[in-house]
Amino acid sequence: MELRDFGRLGRISALTLGGGGIGGVWGSTDRAEAVATVHAALDAGITMLDLAPSYGTDFESERAVADALRGSAREVRITSKVQLQDDEGRDFAARIRRSLRDSLTRLGRDHLDLFLLHTQFRRAGTTLSGTIAPADYQDEIVPEFERLRAEGLIGAWGITAVGDPGPLLDAFRATPAPDAAQIVVNALDQSGDLWMHGDTARPGNDALRAAAAAAGIAVIAIRAVAGGSLTSALDRTVPPTHPAAVDFARAEPFRELAAELGESPASLAHRYALSVPGVATVVLGVKNRAELSECLKAESQGPLSPADLAAVRALA
């Protein structure tokens, strides 16, 4: 497994095992298979697990990883998240600390290697349910993250940089800046159901990735298969109007290209994300060992050739 620079946390594996799949977000699995998938990922050289309290019913991703690592002496980086929105009230610092404490309790650990804000920003002076204002992020949330790092409860902190690019670019330029940012990186630049801003803004994932990398912020690529839209078939039932179904239909030329190149769509999608400049690690949404094996094979094949990379980009 290739290792890549990850700023404050040193070097980590080019692939990260995500908690969404093992938590049952991307189709059904069970605890035994989730635990086995974690073990297989670590055996293959994956060194970071990306979790969140919201991944699965009853905090399943964190509970499954706790089971998988119980009694283990393996060196592995653990990421989890806190979700905030000001329509649920204020006291951000207390809510951040409480969320961290609860995650550490479920995981049986005394610190997290990386703690991420799992909430989108809105533009200053606007309202949008489920988001936070940039001023609140800078004045209240960032100082609490910095305190937690000073106390040794987290090793680094970051943001989920999804949504309106304006306030996210401002966050990258601010001091202190995040140590890491999760950014959508996929072959057709599809944000799917993560996009909640309607027509008030347009996604700017490439600009966000380039700006983060230029600022020394470790880029964590998410949605490499666009929530399943860049695979052979959606593995969960959604209505035809769901963003995943709409994006899946749009992705037919991508599946045709994958067939021409002799690869599965999922393999080509992951190789694409791994080939994008500035990406420190690519989060896998796999839910079992079979899906993990396909991703591991894709990583072992190395980056796409310039010609194949150009062919994929021409589809976006």
In this prediction the pTM is 0.95
Q: How many CB atoms lie within 10 A of CB 201?
A: 16
Q: What is the pLDDT, as a whole number, of residue 290?
A: 96
pLDDT higher than threshold 70 for residue 308 = yes
Range list of H helices, the chain: 19-22, 31-43, 60-69, 92-107, 134-136, 142-150, 165-173, 205-214, 243-250, 252-260, 265-275, 289-300, 306-313
- Range of weakest confidence among 76-90, 160-174, 279-293: 76-90
Question: Looking at per-residue confidence, does 196 or 11 come out higher?
Answer: 11
What is the domain count for the chain? 1
Q: What is the pLDDT, as a whole number, of residue 17?
A: 98
pLDDT tens-digit profile of 79-130?
999 999 776 667 999 999 999 999 999 999 999 999 999 999 998 888 888 8
CATH of the domain at 220: 3.20.20.100
Average pLDDT over residues 30-51: 97
Q: What is the pLDDT, as a whole number, of residue 87?
A: 66
∠ CA 36-41-46 to the nearest 5 degrees? 155
pLDDT higher than threshold 80 for residue 26 = yes
Q: What is the domain range of residue 83? A: 3-313
Average pLDDT over residues 182-211: 90
Question: What percent of the chain has pLDDT above 70?
Answer: 99
